[in-house]
Structure 1
Amino acid sequence: MAKRRKLETPSADDLNRIEEEFRRETTSRGMVAPITQVAADSAAHLETGSVEDRAEQARHKQDSERLKQAQTDGLLMTEIPLDVINADAMIRDRSLLDEGEMQELCTSIAAQGLRLPIEVFELPENAGSETQFGLVSGYRRLMAFRMLLDLSGQSKYQTIRAIIRPRKEADESFAAMVEENEIRANLSHFERGRIAVIAAQQGAFVNTEAAINTLFASASKAKRSKVRSFAMIFEELGDLLSYPEALTEKRGLRLAAALRIGAESELREALAREAEDPENEWALVEPAVLKTELQPKVNSRGGRPSRPKSSPVKWQKSSPLRTSSGITIRRGEDADGHVLRLEGQGLSADLMESLMAEIQALLEKP
């Protein structure tokens, strides 16, 4: 019978030797996962940097994030080549540039440089244009730089200082453009109507009415009513008018009234002839306007026979509507039709004029 071997407890030296042999064998057989080795190498690399180096890296990362956020928010100013800016990405509200004002602006920029940067937004890649940016504000400054570049050929006019704005909402861009020009120069009614129509056509607003109410929110109701009239002139006759900015308020309102009655065909036929100047252009359309003004007003609308003239107004049977502004609206009915009665201290001539324009627009044929 074989004699059993007595087991002995290994010494510390024996344990160290066994562990070292095991480490060599497992490493040589590739039992360490690659990701483990990568993590170990990365940790070793990070541990070699000093505390100051790691703090500097953290500061650089924070600065980079703040810079990126500032660029996203449109807070950074940069130099942009003139040839990558589309000045007509948003149709301008001022269709004519005063030659004297442009000369003064060019002289000022040449002597003192550009004090105020222009504002642009980045165009989508599928915009179908070679330009990269669309102009929001600073049309005159951009045109002045282009004029100076053509005149002098100096390289300093090849780029212009600009702020790249995020185009979150198109209506905000149009409103900013209108506000800039309202401050610099009093826009004509036609120019106001023109930009309202174009803003709606480009999708910034659901329709022209919404554009007028937003772009000219601070204007009186009477002023917005006039802008609506000139907006209609631009929609119906804008492609034929050679001197629309020369239309006075009175002539424009008369022209709009003729359009509402249905004189568009006659007016377009009259404008097909070339006008020599603003007065000549008005002379072409005035006969058609006068024709509509001289037409007799037809009160009879047909339908059921009218009731006797003596029928009393039935104010008592209508429930009054009271508005938050203190104006009360009552509806009645007499022999001629329905009657609205407005009462209250808030009523004014401007309010009534605007209200009449709104009612007329509501009752016009689609």
Structure 2
Amino acid sequence: MAKRKRLTPANPMFLEPAPETKSAVAAPLRAPIADVAREASATAAAEEMAQSMAQARAQGRMVIAVPLAQIRRDHLTRDRVTVDEDDMAPLIESLRARGQQTPVDLVDLWPNKDGPRYGLISGWRRCLALERLHAETGEAQFAEVLALLRRPQDSAQAYVAMIEENEIRAGLSYYERARIVLRAVEAGAFADASAALRGLFASASRAKRSKIGSFTTIVGALDGALQFPRALGERQGLALAQALEGDSDLAAKLVATLRREAPETAEAELALLRSMLQPAKPDRPKSRPVSVQVVRRSNREVSLIGEAVDEAFLKDLEAWIAKRRV
């Protein structure tokens, strides 16, 4: 007879669920090389964009907003002598209504620790108009100017850029053109006035450059003494230049007279210049009046009586009668 096995109670440890086995091959993961490639591509794209923006900024192809306080407006000697308020009023109203449509040209002065960061090349009137609007309204939009950064190779190129813009937008007077010629020479941008004329006004005709050169004589002699130099027209300016070149003492006389008289209008100043350029009339010696009395005796006989009837008078009379007979 077979033996029966005794059954023992179940071991509670065997009743617990089996521990979860984690396979070494879980859900498929993205390959690390793909992540690296994607990140490298994104980084390269960002760097390329940053480099492109930096190049566009440096090359003057990107418009930037610059606070007016960071702009040195006298970086170049300005070609404008005075501000024409009749021209400024429409510009201010246009900026007020439509905002700034055309950027100004700036040059980066970095590292310039003592003063504004940027120097103004062209756009002086727009900066002035925005400054006035900001002072009037207090609006932040008028405290900045839209600008392009330029990189002129030298100061001569910067002066040319300023001249070209003003010649296109609003013609300069001959006096203003001549003045910037001399100031550019003083700044060392050109060796002499002839080089400045050729460089600044290369597109002008030789005759026009010659006239501007004549006006440099006026600027050199009377700059600061003339209160209304823009009113000096071409014809009167050339006459004044010729007079100054022909009389070495005339400049001092004109300066003294202009300061003494201090004309308040352009018309008064021009009239004063004309009066000083007119040659003085020579004093003619006063001669004793002489008379000739004509006595008609008949239709065929006339007598001439008086102190003027002398030998010279009779010869002149005979010559006149001879001409009448021909």
Q: Same fold (TM over 0.5)?
A: yes
Please list the CA deviations of residues 232-271 of structure 1 after superposition, one character each: whole Å capped at 9, or x if unmatched: 2112210211111111212111211122121222222222
Paired residues for 1:212-223 under 5 Å: 212-223=197-208
The equivalent position to 2:159 in structure 1, one of 164, 174, 190, is 174
The 5 Å alignment of 1:195-234 reads: 195-234=180-219
Q: Which residue of 2 aligns with 1:272?
A: 259
> Is 1:112 aligned to residue 118 of structure 2?
no
Aligned letter for 2:266?
P
Deviations 1:129-186 (A, max 9, x none): 5222111111221111111101111111111111111132222221121111111222
1:53 aligns with 2:16: no
Query: Looking at both structures, which has the greater relative contact order when contacts are Cα pairs under 8 Å and sequence separation is at least 6?
Result: 2
How many residue pairs get aligned? The number is 248
Q: CA RMSD in A?
A: 2.4
CA distance in 1, matches of 2:136, 2:111: 32
Query: Could you tell me which residue of structure 2 aligns to residue 91 of structure 1?
Result: 77
Report the alpha carbon displacement of residue 279 of structure 1 after superposing the two structures with TM. 3.1
Moved more, 200-209 or 53-62: 53-62
Task: Give the distance between the partners of 2:155 and 2:162, measured in 1 at CA.
Answer: 11
> Partner amino acid for 1:278?
A
- Output the amino acid matched with 1:237: L
**Which of 253, 260, 269 pairs up with 1:281?**
269
Distance 2:205 2:138 in 1: 47
State the AA in 2 paired with 1:198.
R
Structure 1 residue 47: deviation in Å?
A: 7.4
- SS of the residue corresponding to residue 173 of structure 1 reads helix
My pick for the range that moved more, 156-165 or 269-278, is 269-278
From the superposition, tell whether residues 267 and 52 of structure 1 become closer, same or farther in structure 2 (CA, over 3 Å): same
User: Do the aligned residues in 2 keep the contact of 1:258 with 1:292 (CA within 8 Å)?
Assistant: no
5 Å-filtered alignment, 1:1-366, equals 50-123=36-109, 125=111, 130-261=115-246, 262=248, 263-273=250-260, 274-291=262-279
SS in structure 1 opposite 2:278?
A: helix
TM-score by length of 2: 0.70
| Residue type of the alignment partner of 2:235 | K
SS across alignment from 1:162: strand
Q: CA deviation at 1:50?
A: 1.8
Instruction: Indicate the structure (1 or 2) with the bigger Cα radius of gyration.
Output: 2
* Structure 2 SS opposite 1:50: helix
Tell me by how many angstroms 1:61 deviates. 2.4
Structure 1: give runs of 5+ residues left out of the alignment.
1-45, 295-366
* SS of residue paired to 2:102: coil
| Cα displacement (A) at 1:217 | 1.6
Shift of 1:74: 2.0
- Residues 205 and 211 of structure 1 are in contact (CA less than 8 Å); yes or no, is this contact kept in structure 2? yes
Distance across 2 between alignment mates of 1:293 and 1:142: 52
Contact 2:107/2:120 (<8 A) preserved: yes
1-side partners of 2:43 and 2:232: how far apart? 65
Unaligned runs of 5+ in 2: 1-31, 283-326
Query: Kindly tell me: are residues 158 and 65 of structure 1, through their superposed partners in 2, closer, same or farther at Cα, counting changes over 3 Å?
Result: same
Q: Distance in 1 between matches of 2:61 and 2:72?
A: 21
